[in-house]
Structure 1
Amino acid sequence: MTEDSKQRDYRDTVFLPKTDFPMKAGLPQKEPGIAARWEQIGLYDALRKARRGRKKFILHDGPPYANGDMHIGHALNHILKDMVCRTQNLLGRDAPYVPGWDCHGLPIEWKVEEQYRKEKKNKDEVPPREFRAECRAYAQNWVNVQREQLKRLGIMGDWDNPYLTMDFQAEATIVAELMKFAENGNLYRGAKPVMWSPVEKTALAEAEVEYEDITSTQIDVAFEIVESPIPELVGAHAVIWTTTPWTIPVNQALAYGPEVAYWLINATDGRKYLVAFELVEAFLKRSGLGLLDEPGMPEDAEELLRYGLSKAYNGSQLAGTLARHPMHHLGGFYAAPRPLLPGDFVTTDSGTGLVHMAPDHGEDDFDLCKANGINPVFAVMDDGRYRDDWPWLGSADERRMSVINPKFNAPDGPICSDLAEAGALLAASADYAHSYPHSWRSKAKVIFRATAQWFVPMDRVMDWIEPKTRAEKGWENEGGAIDPSEETLCASPTLRERAMEEIARVEFIPEKGRNRIGAMVEGRPDWVLSRQRAWGVPITLFVRPDGTYLQDPEVNHRIIAAVMQDGVDAWDEARKAEFLGPDYNPDDFEMVTDILDVWFDSGCTHAFVLESGRWPDLTWPANLYLEGSDQHRGWFQSSLLQSSATRGRAPYDQVLTHGFTMDAKGKKMSKSLGNTVDPLKVMETYGADIIRLWALSVDFTEDHRIGDEILKGVGDQYRKLRNTFRYLLGALDSFVGDMSDAGELPELEVYILALLSELDGKLRKAAEEYDFNLYTRLLVDFCNEDLSAFFFDIRKDSLYCDGPDSVTRNAYRTVLDLLFHALVRYAAPVLVFTAEEVWLSRYPEDGEEDDAGQRGSVHLLEWPSVPGVRADAAKWDALRALRDQVNEAIEPLRRDKTIRSSLEAEVTVPAAAVPEGVSDESLAELFITATVTRGQGEAVIVTKTAHRKCSRCWRHLPDVAEEGALCGRCDEVVGAMDAGAA
């Protein structure tokens, strides 16, 4: 070798990876262009065409409200749905996604009213049609805004044709579904207490309230007993305890526990009080009263209890007892004595063991009073004030105010003041802490208020299952008649029973969802459908003076057709005669003015989305419903009840729920706390793929966290994945070939293919089971640990320095090509923009078609086909463990600069740690060291090599004759290159 050649710069002879794929992602700037390209090529439609005829997988989108910007929970929810559909499409199924929005109801109406209040307009003075038009326009605006935000997030779906509950077809279908209940008599109007918002002046569903901790006034009130089968009780006072002083003006009875022991105590104020024996001490403490000494009354506390119990009455003895209302002097409503009634719900956990009954304002109160012929009086109006004509606190009283006003219920408020003046207030304090329902929209407290509402009964025997469904369920014999030999199947179950059977059948992910929704359905009251608002689907019923409603299919058909044509505005008094037709006198009927609960709207989405035919790619029932865990009491439940009642089964086979997104410290996000994370700003800073990687990395089935530091960590994870693809693209520059060209693969390549095969199976299983946290972790760990830190690291010498005809180098690149095609597909549902960028970097649009004929997008591809290769796992586990020991032993020498890289290290390893059949040369290649020898000790020994360094590959080898020279391999490769250049 000449002196000149020894000084030559060999950098231009090294086969370094070449790619234009940038290390810096620039996602916020790059992603919008990729999304625009998808729209240009019609990606969603192209995917539908590619999957047509395949096995269907239907995820039915739950409708979010169209009333504001996308928030982080919204983003998480849609990323999960997108991941489901993309993985199902990747698996070769036909998994369409039709997004939808809930466009009716209080949240939207409330926003329009807020605008009215700013403009000092009175909603009640605006024609209903005009008001509804403004609600419709408001909803449509937010549909348009949210649609663009979700598209920016990379959510793929039929964005040009989403479903909206305010579409006329949807509104008509909702009416038609309501009529299925009505025509079979499974609606009734009843005056039951329901949760009512005095601020919004409407009934609310459980899903429309949230519970907040509050402090209320608690009072003890004396009701004088005027009649009783126990003579000693007459003239005494029954004591009730309540935290809702405002309900005392509508008290109509008292309830006692039939098995509770009651003590008639002589108090130091000279009165006798009837209180549950177990609660006497607490009552005396609240009231400040004591026990009056009686002859024979012991002083010892324990003896005193025995004394009291000996004098106690069993609750059942109180039957027939009457007490008078503390305000009986007002006459009228208050003049009649109040009966003491047995109530199984009465406990001795707190209070006095006697409960005041206001059937207008409590479910137990209503049921007990109704059973005893006592009806509500409807004293509280829709705004929360007592009626003008009410004898106590009506319009003539200057202290009149809403019953939810804290001043109204305060110890010095009008209720307590009047009770004190009447000598009935025994104790009052504003210190009772408890949880209380509030409207989630106005944030105001709600009340239980009896009003005339429309209900679906939960416990009436169902007889409205469609005949085909009944036969399928075994509830009929072949002739259509009930089969008496199958009584348990033939007896149509109640809606509650049918829903519970479906809850047992459906798969819930996580499993705890089954118990949650089951407990709710098992204990829920009848389904209240009506709302006293303007923006929604009307309850299209004609009611007779006696309260019954018309059940005529022809009338219903005309109504449905009109709503299909004109939307909810069709339900108008001016069209009354048109709907009723010639067979009925319009004067004999009243048109219902209430609208449907929006949960009924959303509960019907399966009918007008999956069954209507408007989206021919969709089928009923859905494979999957996916929403937040709060929807066990919302959309999951309303859909279950509506479909069970009309179709005999749930509209879904699986229910997947996710938890809520907390801040970085695990606290609930709140604008007032300033700890919210705006996904729109995150996309501006990091890009949509970072949000997606975060959403699919957390355990979304539980509550989870997000914050700046968490997102930075996700960003680091993303960079490692991106660098994996960048390396693959560079290493595969100009590569043409496949496994058929590779010949017999080296053992390392076989091992990596075995790992890929194992990964493939795990990813497929994770996708099928919606375990996206595991899916993402497996993918990241494989790229980082098995590829970047191991396979790529070991083979970079062969890639850079072997000649073009090298068997090892070609085998390596062949496996890299297989890895590329697998990994880009695995990553595509997660990093939708980056995977597309990677794909187009290798296969640009203007390039030739690949063998699959799918050049346009990575998202048109199907799950990769990987060879089912196996390797000796135990052998490779041992080798990798030994490699880790070697690296650990080398590190101190690197730190103190004895050596600069592992290539300078000569290593001695324990011979017992080396698997059989592995050469020292192979070990040196795996460990990236100069040499490896085997010793008899147990420790790894590292020394600096005396071999000279090759000026091209930088390996320290015995065949490098002198400084600046080349090793034999590099000399041969460079010689061939020089000859070719000449």
Structure 2
Amino acid sequence: MCADTPETLDYKDTLHLPRTDFPMRAGLPKREPDWLARWAELGVYEKLREKAKAETRQPFTLHDGPPYANGHLHIGHALNKILKDMVVRSQQMMGRDARYIPGWDCHGLPIEWKIEEKYREKGLDKDAVDVVEFRQECRDFAAGWVDIQRDEFKRLGITGNWDDPYLTMDFHAERVIAEEFQTFLMNGTLYQGSKPVMWSPVEQTALAEAEVEYHDKESFTVWVKFKVTGFDLPDLDISGEEAPIEDRESVAEIEAQVAQEFVGASVVIWTTTPWTIPSNKAVVFGADYSYGLYEVTDTPEECWAEVGERFLLADKLAADVFAKARLEEGQWRRVRDVTPTQLEAMTLAHPLAGVEGSQGEWDAPRDFRAAPFVTDEEGTGFVHCAPSHGMEEFELYRDLGMLQEVITYNVMDDGTFREDLPFFGGKRILREKAKKGNWEGDANAAIMSKLAEVGGLLARGKIKHSYPHSWRSKAPVIYRNTPQWFAAIDKAVGDGQDTYGTTIRQRALTSIDELVTWTPQKGRNRLYSMIEARPDWVLSRQRAWGVPLTCFVKKGAKPSDDDYLLRDERVNARILEAFEAEGADAWYKDGAKARFLGADYDHDAYEQVMDILDVWFDSGSTHAFTLRDREDGSDDGLADLYLEGTDQHRGWFHSSMLQGCGTMGRAPYRGVLTHGFTLDEKGMKMSKSLGNTIVPEKIVQQYGADILRLWVAQVDFTNDQRIGDEILKNVADSYRRLRNTMRFMLGSLADYDPARAVAREDMPELEQLILHKLAVLDGVVREGYAKYDFQGVFRAIFDFATLDLSSFYFDVRKDALYCDGDTQRRFAALTVLDALYQRLTTWLAPILTFTMEEVWLERNGPETSVHLVDFPETPADWRDDVLAQRAETVRAARRVVTGALEEQRTAKVIGSSLEADPTVYLSPELAQIITDPDTFADLCITSQIELVEGAAPEGAFTSDEIAGVAVVFDRAEGQKCARCWKILPDVGTHAHAGVCGRCDKALS
């Protein structure tokens, strides 16, 4: 009978092979809902609050920027909420009381628009419906989407107080929003004014900057002629004349001569909004630019210019203007210089002045003066001014005290010209509905046609440029002067809260620099520049679904009168009491004015303001009714962190800053973190029309929420990120590698006995090295989470898990873990594995919420959760930099050995490194460090190894990576152990057949 061989002997059952029910395949889409149900049953979030209260933990409050309750989640929502969840979970596990109250914006035009669409489909008139009934439909619509979005957010593993979120349409919230508005009313910063605001003719309401997005738009461009009808030099200033005045016959003759050259010429303006020409009141020029008088000497066919016509143009732009008018060089000439003084002496006429049928609408002379906002970079060097439709022009004439002379009211709420406007009455700037993506109405064409008819047009064309659009209707917006309610941001706030400034702007700028931490820092610069340059805050909107401006104005009084606004705490209190009980609907119910004014005032003497507050005022007030008023809010009413996309510098960060500075004297937050936008794999913006949108629900169904969470952790969220199928496949691959690492630890720890744990000082150096690396990593993880650097945290953990553990430590220690008996080396390795498990599982829990719960439950009871524990404290004495430096040297020498073995494997000399018994030649310095051949053989995963101090023979394998190491390959001598597969001389000489001495001892 043949002797037993390693292949015929079966010692498998004697090995300590990994044992675990933790599956290789995660099956996340099917299994994650079970964990969600389990967390709900355990009441994890509630238990954390109880724990925090019992331990008197320091609170950490991330205030949720409210998403809008009107549709399914998109990938940006997922990125945002997952980032928030990682912040909350990591702060909690680092010892804070991390509270998170989800919230929703529920008021505003998007929801109102949806209800109106439903009405239009049924042929109903919204204005014929009782406003309270209409508001109830809006409320029901929002409530339905809150429920849908809540489930979608929870499916992503987001923790928080989902049973009691904040809603801006809750009665208490509406009461507080009104109360915050009343603070502006009472502190003197509220006023009614009239100025150009971004206006949506389609939605018939003013829009905030945050409600606007910019898209390319093709616009008409026109070059329009304003005739010089008079010339009167002030103080007879004839500067610019070649001859001195004393050489002329008389000043009057000089003036007449200059006038003869200018009168009848045309100042040419250029605009991309022809529809504003009927509202023109002035033309302005730049005081520091060079201007000239030009004459047409020849004309081609189809040209609006005539031979002999003269034009005033900026010299830098003249050639381009004539080219647009189809005039080539040689068909025009420069006649003379034109000085700023001469320009100021001119009188201009509107191109429609005196036109038959104009009814004198444009006959008054146009104002003509220098202005600081004129440039000579494009156009003509002259700017036409319609102060009702442009903020720079408005501010110019406001500061001159001339607004009453230049403001017009030609454009109605729906973007049509007033019916009695000559030639253009009823014409639309924009269509009511886009036609094949085109919103162009009939106003521009009518105006250009009329200008051409009366000889007022020099040229026209089209330009494609970035233009503001409503993000709801996607229609272009216009600037339109309308009466609105404003908060003055440069007026001293009479509230005595002057620590950070006396005005809203001062307080905001001080808060930005002194009270808020910005992540990334560039967010500070963006908001600072916006606040520094912004105009007064437009608070009012002309809609129905929202919180009304709860104030009254005196009939017959002017907005500038002291008694125009009713300021009475008793009236305010009655309003707030009603809102608390009935919500803001109380404002719209029959008898509301009498109810709130009570017996204190003559009801007929006051008008009730029916505008609603800008929805950004709603969301800007959320800190008051969420952080300040709720028991689970913030202890001081402030948030530790606001976290949103970069667009919220002009949105929620901005409105919250203004609102907080207006009502409590400072920013309502201590920290702001911003993330970029999510693009497709090619870096393109996601768009339904392009078909490149990625819906979180589909990712969750295909991969599981943890893969989406891992994607969030792997990207640099401070910049724009990309996502797509290939990217998600790579993320899933990283997940599998990490899962296999955790699975190995779980399997190896199956029979771990804490009673047999080995003290660090009694461990082999390899185990001490891993503990050192854990201690270093502990600092990296905590610092990274504190700085919200999730990418850095995950990268550090992943590299450690895959490079230091799977590819090195586990590979080296498999032999001891599987084959050793009750040895200190094996128990030391298990002790280290337990330390690794405790830390990796908890460190990764904020990122891989579901998977780490699965890992945790494999070793802990069903009544616990990884999300109920903190990051374990790591002993400071685990860190040993001297050991680590020595170990890195040994590891570098190991790479030389493995390189030599790989060369033999590639040449098919050996199949496994256990077939090798290399001789390693070491320099005297390295020989003092690498002293034990058995330990080094374990590190190199060879059966045997020989260490020699001295120079290597010629032909030995070396590496440029480390000097002083050379390897001469040789085969291992002896037989292959049937149990550990090492090839050793003593195999077969022990009591148990076919095994080495180490295995024989283990079998005994």
Aligned equivalent of 1:408: 442
Partner Cα distance (1:928, 1:747) in 2:
16
Aligned equivalent of 1:36: 37
**Deviation of the 1:826 alpha carbon:** 0.7
- Is the counterpart of residue 790 in structure 1 residue 821 in structure 2? no
Question: Aligned to 2:935, which of 891, 911, 922?
Answer: 922
Aligned equivalent of 1:948: 975
Q: Is the 8 A contact 2:374 2:381 kept in 1?
A: yes
Q: Which runs of 5+ in 2 are unaligned?
A: 234-258, 298-305, 953-957, 959-965
Partner Cα distance (1:928, 1:959) in 2:
18
**Deviation of the 1:336 alpha carbon:** 1.4
Q: What secondary structure, in the 3-state scheme, does the structure 2 residue paired with 1:58 have?
A: strand
- Is the counterpart of residue 181 in structure 1 residue 184 in structure 2? yes
Aligned equivalent of 1:489: none
Partner Cα distance (1:56, 1:648) in 2:
23
Partner Cα distance (1:761, 1:943) in 2:
44
Deviations 1:141-183 (A, max 9, x none): 1110111111111100000000000101001100000000001
- Is the counterpart of residue 500 in structure 1 residue 509 in structure 2? yes
Question: Aligned to 1:649, which of 655, 666, 673?
Answer: 666
The runs of at least 4 aligned residues of structure 1 exceeding 6 Å deviation read 290-294, 397-404
Q: Is the 8 A contact 1:264 1:275 kept in 2?
A: yes
- Is the counterpart of residue 511 in structure 1 residue 524 in structure 2? no
- Is the counterpart of residue 528 in structure 1 residue 528 in structure 2? no
Partner Cα distance (1:721, 1:402) in 2:
56
Aligned equivalent of 1:237: 266
Partner Cα distance (1:599, 1:667) in 2:
29
Aligned equivalent of 2:240: none
**Deviation of the 1:45 alpha carbon:** 0.3
Matches within 5 A, 1:483-632: 492-505=501-514, 506-545=516-555, 546=557, 547=559, 548-572=564-588, 574-615=591-632, 619-632=636-649
Question: Aligned to 1:394, which of 392, 402, 425?
Answer: 425
**Deviation of the 1:866 alpha carbon:** 1.9
Q: What letter corresponds to residue 280 of structure 1 in structure 2?
A: A
Matches within 5 A, 1:6-45: 7-45=8-46
Aligned equivalent of 2:887: 876
When the two structures are superposed, what TM-score results if normalisation uses the length of structure 1?
0.91
- Is the counterpart of residue 326 in structure 1 residue 337 in structure 2? no
- Is the counterpart of residue 967 in structure 1 residue 996 in structure 2? yes
Change (3 A) 1:422 1:97: same
Partner Cα distance (1:741, 1:914) in 2:
29
Aligned equivalent of 1:284: 322
Q: Is the 8 A contact 1:207 1:634 kept in 2?
A: yes
**Deviation of the 1:5 alpha carbon:** 9.2
Alignment coverage as a number of residue pairs: 927
Change (3 A) 1:256 1:646: same
Question: Aligned to 2:464, which of 421, 429, 433?
Answer: 433
Aligned equivalent of 1:450: 481
**Deviation of the 1:84 alpha carbon:** 0.6
Question: Aligned to 2:230, which of 211, 227, 233?
Answer: 227
Aligned equivalent of 2:796: 778
Matches within 5 A, 1:851-870: 856-868=864-876, 869-870=878-879
Partner Cα distance (2:583, 2:121) in 1:
29
Q: What secondary structure, in the 3-state scheme, does the structure 1 residue paired with 2:460 have?
A: strand
Partner Cα distance (1:293, 1:669) in 2:
50
Aligned equivalent of 1:802: 820
Q: What secondary structure, in the 3-state scheme, does the structure 1 residue paired with 2:114 have?
A: helix
**Deviation of the 1:688 alpha carbon:** 0.8
Change (3 A) 1:831 1:291: closer
Q: Is the 8 A contact 1:603 1:640 kept in 2?
A: yes
Q: What letter corresponds to residue 388 of structure 1 in structure 2?
A: E
Change (3 A) 1:325 1:800: same
Q: What letter corresponds to residue 950 of structure 1 in structure 2?
A: C
Deviations 1:886-914 (A, max 9, x none): 22322243344322211111223341355
Partner Cα distance (1:834, 1:89) in 2:
18
Aligned equivalent of 2:491: 460
Partner Cα distance (1:680, 1:245) in 2:
46
Q: What letter corresponds to residue 369 of structure 1 in structure 2?
A: Y
Q: Is the 8 A contact 2:388 2:394 kept in 1?
A: yes
**Deviation of the 1:92 alpha carbon:** 0.9
Q: What secondary structure, in the 3-state scheme, does the structure 2 residue paired with 1:98 have?
A: coil
Question: Aligned to 1:205, which of 203, 208, 214?
Answer: 208
Deviations 1:436-495 (A, max 9, x none): 10111111110000001111112223333xx4x43x55xxxxxxxxxxxxxxxxxx5332
**Deviation of the 1:946 alpha carbon:** 2.9
Q: Is the 8 A contact 2:930 2:936 kept in 1?
A: no
Change (3 A) 1:179 1:158: same
**Deviation of the 1:119 alpha carbon:** 3.0
Q: Is the 8 A contact 1:220 1:242 kept in 2?
A: yes
Change (3 A) 1:561 1:215: same
Matches within 5 A, 1:626-641: 626-641=643-658
Q: What secondary structure, in the 3-state scheme, does the structure 1 residue paired with 2:969 have?
A: strand
Deviations 1:839-868 (A, max 9, x none): 1111132xxxxxxxxx51111111212222
Deviates more, 1:775-784 or 1:901-910: 901-910
**Deviation of the 1:739 alpha carbon:** 7.8
Aligned equivalent of 2:945: 932
Change (3 A) 1:36 1:398: closer
Deviations 1:200-228 (A, max 9, x none): 11110111111112222111111122222
% identical aligned pairs: 50
Partner Cα distance (2:379, 2:634) in 1:
60
Matches within 5 A, 1:229-308: 229-230=232-233, 231-232=259-260, 233-268=262-297, 269=306, 270-289=308-327, 308=336
Q: Is the 8 A contact 1:214 1:435 kept in 2?
A: yes
Q: Is the 8 A contact 1:437 1:446 kept in 2?
A: yes
Q: Is the 8 A contact 2:202 2:432 kept in 1?
A: no
Q: Is the 8 A contact 2:621 2:656 kept in 1?
A: yes
Deviates more, 1:607-616 or 1:515-524: 607-616
Partner Cα distance (1:741, 1:266) in 2:
99
- CA-based RMSD of the aligned residues comes to 2.3
Q: What secondary structure, in the 3-state scheme, does the structure 1 residue paired with 2:751 have?
A: coil
Partner Cα distance (1:436, 1:549) in 2:
37
Change (3 A) 1:919 1:4: closer
Deviations 1:590-628 (A, max 9, x none): 111111111111100111101113535654211111101
- Is the counterpart of residue 348 in structure 1 residue 348 in structure 2? no
Change (3 A) 1:319 1:193: farther
**Deviation of the 1:582 alpha carbon:** 1.1
Partner Cα distance (1:139, 1:949) in 2:
73
Partner Cα distance (1:240, 1:819) in 2:
73
**Deviation of the 1:258 alpha carbon:** 2.6
Deviates more, 1:200-209 or 1:338-347: 338-347
Partner Cα distance (1:559, 1:909) in 2:
89
Change (3 A) 1:398 1:365: closer
Q: What letter corresponds to residue 323 of structure 1 in structure 2?
A: A
Partner Cα distance (2:343, 2:313) in 1:
14
